Structure 1
Amino acid sequence: MVYFFVSFTPEKTQVNQKELLKFELEIDSLRLVEIENKKPKIYPFNPNFITDYKGYTLGMTTEEIDRLLAFRKQDKWVNSVQEFQNVTKVSDSFLAIISPYFKFPEWVTNPKPKTFTTYQYNNQPKTFEQKQDLNTASALQLQKVNGIGEGYSKRIIAYRDKLGGFIADIQLREVYGLSPEVIDRVVEQFTVKTPKQVEKINLNTASIEQLVTIQYIDYEVAHHIIEQRTLREGYQSLDDLLKVKSFPSNKIEIIKLYLKLN
């Protein structure tokens, strides 16, 4: 009988502590890079257009988001970092993190210096016939209005093209950045003479699918409109929409352009 002796004693492995530490540091570094890459990247944005989801991803509380949305619902605009904090009540530390990404319009961040040009005003308002057609006005013609520069004139025409033509002067309110004073000066010189032809929707027979084709009416509002219509057995006036739950009352005049009764 032959016996074999086998040693099961594990071999000792010499570990270089410096190499091990270096390896661990590399692993930690890669892990940090991976974590950083998974973080949502923040790009410059206009804080006036923060949505519920955008605010959540930025780290805003529900109350802070609601304050901003309520402020914007009044057709008001945040035009500075300080005003953003005044409206939302965010903390100084949080503001310091997100404010570097705020991007306000050029006319807010770099307002043109006021020029003291002498204008000759005619107290006699222009008649409809004397005014130029807002739907055919060129950028250069619009720029003759005090307060309308190259940027605003292009913005008015771009919005006009998007709509396929203005229906009424009131739609100038939807051009971002135009103040009420500037709009008043525009309509002193221009008016819609060739309005875009639209087939108005009958408020008392419209379906949800028809209502949501109107700007500012979503499915929730459309549902409430039809619900109220059923309870009232029909609307007697377009202004009755102001009593509908969640209806954007500040946009009633725009919405009425697309509706009719019976």
Structure 2
Amino acid sequence: MNFKQYFIFNKEQRTGLAVLVGLIVIFQLLYFFVDFSTNKVVSKEDEQWLSMQTEIDSMKGIANEDSYKIYPYNPNFITDFKGYKLGMKIAEIDRLLAFRKTNKYVNSAKEFQEVTKISDSLLATMSPYFKFPDWVSNKKQYPKYDNSNFKDFSKKERIIVLDINQATKEDFVKIYGIGDAISDRILKEKEKLGAYVNMDQMQDIWGLSPEVIAELNSHFKISGSTVVKKIDINNLPIKELTKFPYFKYALAKEIVTYRSMNSGIKNIDDLTKIKGFPVEKIKIIALYLEF
């Protein structure tokens, strides 16, 4: 590529380039050597006003520094700085701080003066701004009551223990944690069994927590005179056995199979040999059986 052709100019082009370069040089010289800033002429009146304004501003600063606007405050929480601004001496502030370290409070202007030992004149200027809590300013007078009218709740009332088989729905709902639904379940289960033979049977009632069961045990018991209708385990057919809440169909079938193969069920030990028998409840179940 021939670059020489780009540097060949005619007469007019050379003249234009010379003029452009000359203008650039002139503007650069003007920029460096000519001061374009404008000097504002200040009159004597403006000078006097500016000096007065400076003095006024300085006086305002001094006034703001010396002034201390006071708002209502709780004198129990006066700090060193606040006490100094209010005119208190260091010893007076220290007395208040030492008093507060004992976890005590002043509740009146008089008490404040007794603690700090401030003068009457200083108290007169400070006390109008004292603000104590409402409970200090508006103490309520409560009527006195005769203690003889109150029960001694530290002594528990004597609990009357009832036979659970004789208890009614009203007796059950008095127990904390037992409502209508749970009391109905307890009564319905008793109806199926004929009677409860052990308080451990409360653990089979759905919805009873250990805490509520403990309450039931403290209010109810199984009476020694409880009569239970016995189940003839050696002669009842499967259908009749399943009416007993502890015997489901599968277990009733195993009972019939075992007794037919072993000439009957003779005692509680034979029950443990029956497949699927709830051994953990065997002592309770045995009380309902007739061998």
| Bigger radius of gyration among the two | 2
Q: Which has the higher helix share?
A: 2
TM-score, normalised on structure 1?
Answer: 0.40
Structure with the bigger RCO (C-alpha within 8 Å, sep 6+) is 1
TM-score, normalised on structure 2?
Answer: 0.37
